[in-house]
Amino acid sequence: MSDLSQLAYATTAEVAAMIQKKEVSSREAVDYFLARVEALDKTINSVVTIDAERARAEADAADTELAGGTSRGPLHGVPMTIKDSYQTKGMRTTSGAPELTDFIPEEDAWPVARLREAGAIIYGKTNLPIYAGDLQSYNEIFGTTNNPHDTTRTPGGSSGGSGAALACGFTPLELGSDIGGSIRLPSHMSGVTGHKPSYGIVPAHGQIPGPPGTLTMADLAVAGPMARSVEDLELGLDIMAGPNRWEQPAWRLELPAPRKHALKDYRIATWLDDPRCPVEPEARTLLENAASALARAGATVSADARPEFSLEKIAATFMALLQSALSGGVSRDKIEEYAQSSGNTSTDQTRRLFAMRHREWLSYNERRMQMRKRWEEFFQDWDVMLLPVMPCPAITHDHSEPQAGRTALVGGQQRPYWDLVTWMAPAGACLLPATVIPVGQLDNGLPIGVQIVGPYLEDRTALHVAKHLFEMMGGCPRPAGF
């Protein structure tokens, strides 16, 4: 291969094919990405830990194996980065926490292990907020990650370094995680693709938080692929999906095929705005254009079909479940203090949710189950639902504390910070698969994404529709200078 620069924005499948065909060696690919990060990442700060020596050694081994006729799998010799919340054997893993600055795991997180088994070479780790707990990506160890489309803005969180690295052409594939939108929000803000799998189909043991060694699987939390094409999302999901450590002796996972063969046969609902969380007009126009493109391609598209619950109700349920899921690292004394919060500010409300009693959580969980049933009924008539990701594009950096007290500028108005995750609720609370793809850029160049939400365990349906729409929308925008 004469022009290694083609690697920067090649898909994962394309890089893998180049290596298999010996058009480029794995070592050349590793060296190329290492040099690209060194030259271009200083203003972005997305790749924060690099193990060049190990990556080069693994690449040399991959080339030797291939020369001998051996291939480990579909990612044989492909360099990639991993979100720094996932334990990587022999490579520093911090989850952005100062107390883990020098932590070097002795084993890989489960999805990392699956990627390595498929032949991937992990050359670096990407930035995130401390313990993956913010919509922006910054921490005391590594500092702030900037959005490649506008460095005054965040690339999102918590998989913000992942999204930024993909947008910059530093990696063809990334491993993200999503509990409150941490795959979907950065994919939207950085203009890349991401897939939040159905809850439970990608084992995520070995992610931090909780502390290293934690075996509990947090409510709502999933591991999933991020990339620059939908085919790569499918590839990543195929590699990582399967039963977890407890179920592996007996269970097998066979995800259903897409519901339809052709786009014209799909029934697609759109819910692209709502008084509970109004979307900026220019962003809404791009979302509506995407829906119109599907209709022009022959799909049945309805802007009126809805599951039988309001955005307000599911957002409240999601926020309660989310804050409860995030409360595991809060001390008992703090929980008792938070339980006494009596005001009506966003901070007070968030603290009370952190401190909810188990009986209250059971009530929210039952509400969630009732809405899952409404979704189940809805998907008897409709195949997927299109939703916004956020009511606005990437926001400007804001590291003020507490998080719940922040505001964000949306459509010329200051809105509560947690409003930015409202559209995460319908899929997040109900554990549904959601694929995010870019559908265009605003006049200021900032990308806008859309969620394609499918029925539970029907990830391939959401991805299939996303693949068609992605092709019509022109793919991922490339930031200036990269």
Nearest to 95 by CA among 135, 62, 63, 137: 137
**Where along the chain do its domains lie?**
4-240, 265-473
- Tell me the two tokens of residue 80: 């990639």
Q: What is the pLDDT of residue 1?
A: 45
CATH code assigned to 4-240: 3.90.1300.10
Burial 92-105 (b: 16+ CB within 10 A, else e): bbbbbbeebeeeeb
Q: What is the pLDDT of residue 421?
A: 98
Nearest to 124 by CA among 169, 154, 155, 83: 83
Q: What is the pLDDT of residue 362?
A: 94
Q: Are 311 and 422 in contact (CB under 8 A)?
A: yes
Residues annotated as catalytic (active site), given as ranges: 83, 158, 182
Contacts of residue 481, defined as CB under 8 A and 6 or more positions apart, other chains included, come to: 40
- Tell me the two tokens of residue 170: 């530093």
Peptide bond into 85 cis (omega under 30): no
Cα–Cα distances in Å, from 64 out to 19, 59, 92? 12, 9, 27
Q: Tell me how far apart the alpha carbons of residues 193 and 86 are, in angstroms, rounded to a whole number.
A: 20
Q: Please state the pTM of the whole predicted model.
A: 0.96
Nearest to 224 by CA among 210, 237, 209: 237
CATH architecture of 265-473: Alpha-Beta Complex (3.90)
Q: What is the pLDDT along the chain (482 residues), one digit of tens a residue?
A: 458 999 999 999 999 999 999 999 999 999 999 999 999 999 999 999 999 999 999 999 999 999 999 999 999 999 999 999 999 999 999 999 999 999 999 999 999 999 999 999 999 999 999 999 999 999 999 999 999 999 999 999 999 999 999 999 999 999 999 999 999 999 999 999 999 999 999 999 999 999 999 998 899 999 999 999 999 999 999 999 999 999 999 999 999 999 999 999 999 999 999 999 999 999 999 999 999 999 999 999 999 999 999 999 999 999 999 999 887 767 777 777 777 777 888 787 888 877 788 899 999 999 999 999 999 999 999 999 999 999 999 999 999 999 999 999 999 999 999 999 999 999 999 999 999 999 999 999 999 999 999 999 999 999 999 999 999 999 999 999 99
Q: Are 11 and 480 in contact (CB under 8 A)?
A: no
Cα–Cα distances in Å, from 202 out to 76, 90, 183, 277, 384? 21, 23, 14, 30, 21
Q: Across-strand partners of 32?
A: none
Contacts of residue 415, defined as CB under 8 A and 6 or more positions apart, other chains included, come to: 391, 407, 408, 409
Are 4-240 and 265-473 in the same CATH fold?
yes
